[in-house]
Amino acid sequence: MPLETAAPDRAAADREEAVQALDRRTRAHTRVHTARALGLLAAVGVLVLCAGLSVSVGAKSIPLGTVWDALFSNDGSYDHSVIVELRIPRAVLGVFVGAALGLSGALMQGLTRNPLAEPGILGVNSGAAAAIVTAIYVFGLTSPNAYVWFAFLGAALASVAVYALGSRGRSQATPVRLALAGTAVAAVLQGLVYTVIVLDDFVFDRIRFWQVGSLVGRDLELFSRIWPFLAAGVVIALLLAPALNTVALGDDLASALGARINRTRLLAAVAIVLMCGAATATAGPIWFVGLTVPHVARAITGPDQRWLLPYSAVLAAILLTAADTLGRVVLPSGELEVGIITALVGAPVFIALVRRTRMAQL
């Protein structure tokens, strides 16, 4: 075969092989995205089921038919009143508080590139808790509806303090410096909380159930106050997903790719303050959800923040809602607070994840 004929044939074969390889990669990429979308849809279905069980199951089990009647034709009966006034607010708050905590944890781990990070690492939860305890001690507040604004103030001040300490000097606010500053600030604020609780019986009586994490006694009026902040935090977090993927490559490479690192960190901190401030004011400082759930989500989705963040939100909502329901029936009389259940369930799961990760690295 003449060289003039062979060369075009080889070039055409190479082009055809490249097109086929690109087509295979595209199909594989599409299959992965389809599987993740279906998995997220299935998780949402499980969340709906957990929310339904949360409304139906308790010290007194109520049939789903009665729940349906209470939603659309409330006749003021005892069962309908329990559903509308007590259980529906708990289910709604459980879903949104859980989603906020899971999303905050995933956002924090992506921001600091620290797999052990969680919302408390910036002192957000501790700041909100310290502000609420101080407000109860100074102003005598007794309603969770009044805690919200103090929780945001405390969370914001703690975040500013952590960022100021982490960026002090010539060095930038690196993930390690932020983590160390957050740990120090959280320790100081927790010391303040425990000091006030020990010295004042009134504060101790008001704060003891809130401190361990609880959804008892919350109503939809409280949700009407916090949902705009939760919604704003969720929107900011989800919009930051592509930027977090770039930041995960490291500061130098992210800067070379055009990422605005400081802007991303600032917006992420704002989202964390909004979500954790609202969640802490509502249910108290529930610590373990934001630490464990993102690892479960990462095992499903991989490191892509565009999928990791929504998965973390939905899975955390499932965990908190299911834990709140389980806490009502696990004891023959009374109930366990949701913060206790999440710790008992989350700790073994997290240990198993850590062991699996270590074995994979050997």
Range(s) of the domain holding residue 323? 90-361
Closest CA to 106 of 361, 302, 321, 320: 302
* Overall number of domains in the chain: 1
* Domain CATH code at residue 249: 1.10.3470.10
For 96-114, what is each residue's pLDDT tens digit?
Answer: 999 999 999 999 888 877 7
pLDDT tens figures, 249-264: 777 777 777 778 888 8
Tell me whether residue 61 is in a domain: no
**Is 121 a member of any domain?**
yes
Q: What pLDDT sits at residue 3?
A: 46
Encoded tokens for 48? 């709906």
Nearby residues of 271 by Cβ (< 8 Å), 6 or more positions away: 104, 107, 232, 233, 234, 236, 237, 240
DSSP H helical segments within the chain, as ranges? 3-56, 64-72, 78-82, 88-112, 124-139, 144-166, 175-199, 201-212, 220-239, 241-247, 251-256, 261-283, 289-301, 305-329, 338-361
Q: Is the pLDDT of residue 232 over 80?
A: yes
With respect to residue 85, please indicate whether it lies within any of the assigned structural domains.
no
Q: Is residue 24 part of a domain?
A: no
294 within domain boundaries: yes
In a domain, 292, yes or no: yes
Of 354, 321, 327, nearest in space to 100 by CA: 321
Q: pTM, whole model, 2 decimals?
A: 0.85
Other beta carbons within 10 Å of 87: 21
Cα dihedral 349, 350, 356, 358 in deg (nearest 10): -160
Give the per-residue pLDDT at 43. Answer: 96
Within 8 A by CB and 6+ apart from 91, the residues are 51, 54, 55, 321
Please report whether residue 224 resides in a domain: yes
Structure tokens at 293: 């759930």
319 domain residue, yes or no:
yes
pLDDT score at 300: 92
